[in-house]
Amino acid sequence: MSEFETVNNILIVDDSSTARFIIRQCFEIAGFRGKNYVEAKNGLEALESLEKEKFDLIVTDLNMPGMDGIGLLSSVKASRHSEIPVIVITSTSNQAKNDELKKLGAFLIFNKPISPAGIHQAWETSKK
Protein backbone atom coordinates (compact mmCIF):
# COMPACT_ATOMS: atom_id res chain seq x y z
CA MET A 1 0.00 0.00 0.00
CA SER A 2 1.30 3.48 -0.87
CA GLU A 3 1.90 5.76 2.10
CA PHE A 4 -0.53 8.20 0.50
CA GLU A 5 -3.31 5.61 0.86
CA THR A 6 -3.00 5.57 4.63
CA VAL A 7 -4.23 9.19 4.72
CA ASN A 8 -7.94 9.73 4.10
CA ASN A 9 -9.08 12.76 6.06
CA ILE A 10 -7.05 15.98 5.82
CA LEU A 11 -7.70 19.17 7.81
CA ILE A 12 -6.46 22.37 6.13
CA VAL A 13 -6.12 25.41 8.41
CA ASP A 14 -5.46 28.88 6.96
CA ASP A 15 -7.28 32.21 7.28
CA SER A 16 -6.86 32.86 3.54
CA SER A 17 -9.31 31.11 1.21
CA THR A 18 -6.74 31.52 -1.57
CA ALA A 19 -4.10 29.73 0.50
CA ARG A 20 -6.52 26.93 1.42
CA PHE A 21 -7.30 26.45 -2.28
CA ILE A 22 -3.60 26.38 -3.22
CA ILE A 23 -2.78 23.92 -0.42
CA ARG A 24 -5.55 21.54 -1.46
CA GLN A 25 -4.58 21.70 -5.14
CA CYS A 26 -0.92 21.07 -4.36
CA PHE A 27 -1.69 18.13 -2.03
CA GLU A 28 -4.01 16.54 -4.61
CA ILE A 29 -1.34 16.79 -7.32
CA ALA A 30 1.34 15.56 -4.87
CA GLY A 31 -0.52 12.28 -4.36
CA PHE A 32 -3.39 13.01 -1.98
CA ARG A 33 -6.12 12.90 -4.64
CA GLY A 34 -9.62 11.68 -3.76
CA LYS A 35 -9.18 12.42 -0.05
CA ASN A 36 -11.71 14.07 2.25
CA TYR A 37 -10.59 17.67 2.79
CA VAL A 38 -12.05 19.80 5.59
CA GLU A 39 -11.14 23.49 5.92
CA ALA A 40 -10.80 25.72 8.99
CA LYS A 41 -9.97 29.43 9.17
CA ASN A 42 -7.90 29.35 12.38
CA GLY A 43 -6.74 27.14 15.22
CA LEU A 44 -9.98 27.38 17.16
CA GLU A 45 -12.07 26.24 14.19
CA ALA A 46 -9.57 23.44 13.64
CA LEU A 47 -9.90 22.21 17.24
CA GLU A 48 -13.69 22.19 16.84
CA SER A 49 -13.34 20.08 13.68
CA LEU A 50 -11.04 17.67 15.50
CA GLU A 51 -13.78 17.02 18.06
CA LYS A 52 -16.31 16.22 15.34
CA GLU A 53 -14.27 14.15 12.91
CA LYS A 54 -11.23 11.88 12.80
CA PHE A 55 -8.29 13.25 10.80
CA ASP A 56 -5.15 11.54 9.52
CA LEU A 57 -3.26 14.72 8.70
CA ILE A 58 -3.38 18.42 9.69
CA VAL A 59 -1.93 21.08 7.37
CA THR A 60 -1.74 24.51 8.99
CA ASP A 61 -0.56 28.05 8.40
CA LEU A 62 1.15 29.85 11.31
CA ASN A 63 -0.03 33.45 11.09
CA MET A 64 -3.79 33.52 11.67
CA PRO A 65 -6.20 35.64 13.76
CA GLY A 66 -7.73 33.97 16.79
CA MET A 67 -5.62 30.91 17.55
CA ASP A 68 -2.49 30.83 15.36
CA GLY A 69 -0.59 27.81 14.06
CA ILE A 70 1.77 27.63 17.04
CA GLY A 71 -1.23 27.54 19.38
CA LEU A 72 -2.89 24.85 17.29
CA LEU A 73 0.27 22.74 17.08
CA SER A 74 0.82 22.97 20.83
CA SER A 75 -2.82 22.15 21.59
CA VAL A 76 -2.87 19.14 19.26
CA LYS A 77 0.37 17.71 20.62
CA ALA A 78 -0.90 18.08 24.19
CA SER A 79 -4.21 16.39 23.43
CA ARG A 80 -5.55 12.94 22.59
CA HIS A 81 -4.97 13.89 18.94
CA SER A 82 -1.20 14.06 19.46
CA GLU A 83 -0.52 11.20 17.03
CA ILE A 84 -1.91 13.16 14.05
CA PRO A 85 1.00 14.50 11.95
CA VAL A 86 0.95 18.30 11.67
CA ILE A 87 2.43 19.89 8.55
CA VAL A 88 3.19 23.62 8.78
CA ILE A 89 3.05 25.82 5.68
CA THR A 90 4.20 29.34 6.38
CA SER A 91 5.77 32.48 5.00
CA THR A 92 7.81 33.00 8.20
CA SER A 93 9.97 29.91 8.07
CA ASN A 94 13.74 29.89 8.38
CA GLN A 95 16.19 27.65 10.24
CA ALA A 96 15.50 29.21 13.64
CA LYS A 97 11.73 28.95 13.17
CA ASN A 98 12.01 25.40 11.83
CA ASP A 99 13.97 24.34 14.93
CA GLU A 100 11.26 25.88 17.14
CA LEU A 101 8.47 24.14 15.20
CA LYS A 102 10.23 20.77 15.27
CA LYS A 103 10.57 21.03 19.05
CA LEU A 104 6.83 21.63 19.26
CA GLY A 105 6.19 18.48 17.21
CA ALA A 106 5.75 19.66 13.61
CA PHE A 107 6.05 16.75 11.19
CA LEU A 108 7.04 18.71 8.07
CA ILE A 109 7.56 22.44 7.41
CA PHE A 110 7.16 24.15 4.02
CA ASN A 111 7.81 27.72 2.92
CA LYS A 112 5.18 29.55 0.88
CA PRO A 113 4.71 29.30 -2.02
CA ILE A 114 4.43 25.51 -1.87
CA SER A 115 4.73 23.15 -4.83
CA PRO A 116 3.30 19.67 -5.43
CA ALA A 117 6.77 18.32 -6.19
CA GLY A 118 8.15 19.66 -2.93
CA ILE A 119 5.31 18.11 -0.94
CA HIS A 120 5.61 14.76 -2.72
CA GLN A 121 9.36 14.56 -2.20
CA ALA A 122 9.26 15.60 1.45
CA TRP A 123 6.41 13.16 2.22
CA GLU A 124 8.17 10.23 0.54
CA THR A 125 11.45 11.06 2.26
CA SER A 126 9.80 11.35 5.66
CA LYS A 127 8.37 7.85 5.37
CA LYS A 128 11.69 6.11 4.63
Partner 1 sequence: MGSDRETILKKAVMDTLESMAFVSLTEKTTAFFSDEMLSSGPQRSLPVIKPEGYGFVISMSSALIRETAANILGIGPEEMTAENETDALSEILNTIAGNFMREYISPDTTYELGLPEAGSLSSKERLPEGSKIVVDCPFESETGEYLVVQLLGKLN
Site for partner 1, rule CB under 8 A: 15-19, 21-22, 25, 63-65, 90-97, 100, 111-113, 115
Compute the least distance from the CB of residue 112 to partner 1, in Å: 5
Contacts of 66 (CB under 8 A, 6+ apart): 41, 42, 43, 44, 45
Other C-beta atoms closer than 10 Å to the C-beta of 33 total: 9
Closer residue to partner 1 (CB): 26 or 86: 26
Closer residue to partner 1 (CB): 49 or 98: 98
Phi, psi dihedral angles at 97 (to 5 degrees): -70, -40
Compute the least distance from the CB of residue 89 to partner 1, in Å: 11
